Amino acid sequence: MRRIFQLLVVSALAAVTLVTLAGTGRAQTGAGDLAAFCDGRIEANAADTKADNVTVLTKMAAAAPAAMSTQMNDLLALVKKQGDKAFESKTGRALLAQIEPFVYDNCPGRQLPVTAIDYEYQGIPATLPAGVTKFKLTNAAPKEGHMIAIVKVQPGNESTPIDKILALPNKKQNQVLDFSDAGFAEAEPGDSGYFPMNLTSGKYIYACFFPEGGKKNGAPHYKLGMEGSFTVS
């Protein structure tokens, strides 16, 4: 999943449809291990290859509470067969539409509902405490799809403007952004997307990279105002 996220950020002018795969304690739900399942979902944010995704999904499937056991095993089988394409397939989307809200509602961490409109985010504070935050992106725009990508800024680059970071060549971006500490979700009008992140001390930036009007040459939404930052302490 990290590879999909990274491809999105470094090709900010491209129209890309994304789906996310989208604690402590040892709470049990059904026959599974809820804490291990939730920890696996956080780990999935950094999965970079098909092998990485299979490894983390295997852990999640083994720990899945009864309510998510079938969905996780079906998603695991799909990823083994299709790789990254599984997350964008009709079947994969349907499975994720059940798994991600379950994570938001049942896993440890603070819930943070975020609203996307044309062209801004509502509900993201300037500061957040360290620890797990579960983001819910609801698209309240009338027609356009929106997404949010959140990534940590490498230490020493906190004063660099967001637009300047996003304009950097790929290799330079990798020096400024920590793609292993990132999350993303997308939603069509009236829908929601979800993802959890284990936030650590530092600065995070967020942006929407979808093109205006869904057109190939449309300006990316972050250039129209859909960008921002928050600090974690």
> Strand 131-139 relative to strand 192-199: parallel, antiparallel, unpaired?
antiparallel
- Which pLDDT score, from 0 to 100, does residue 28 have? 41
Tell me if the domain spanning 2-19+109-232 has CATH number 2.60.40.420: yes
The pLDDT tens digits for 85-117 are 999 899 999 999 999 999 999 999 999 999 999
Do 196 and 42 meet the contact criterion of CB atoms below 8 Å apart? yes
DSSP string, 27-65: -EETTEEHHHHHHHHHHHTT--SHHHHHHHHHHHHHH--
Those residues with Cβ within 8 angstroms of residue 74's Cβ, 6 or more apart along the chain or in another chain: 91, 95
User: Cβ atoms within 10 A of the Cβ of 151, count?
Assistant: 24
Cα 120 to Cα 55, 90, 175, 233: the distances in Å are: 36, 28, 27, 24
Q: Which residues pair with 183 in a beta bridge?
A: 150
Q: Helix, strand or coil for residue 172?
A: helix
**Distance (Å, rounded) from C-alpha 38 to C-alpha 196?**
9
How does residue 197 score in pLDDT terms, banded at 50, 70 and 90?
very high
Domain ranges within the chain, ordered by starting residue: 2-19+109-232, 28-106
pLDDT over 70 percentage in the chain: 87
User: Residue 20 pLDDT more than 60?
Assistant: no
Query: What average pLDDT does range 45-55 have in this prediction?
Result: 92
Residue 166's φ and ψ, nearest 5 degrees, are -70, -20
The answer to whether 38 touches 23, Cβ cutoff 8 Å, is yes
pTM of the model: 0.87
**SS3 assignment, position 6:** helix
**Which residues 6+ apart lie within 8 Å of 165 measured at CB?**
153, 157, 173, 176, 177, 205
209-227 pLDDT per residue, tens: 999 988 888 999 999 999 9
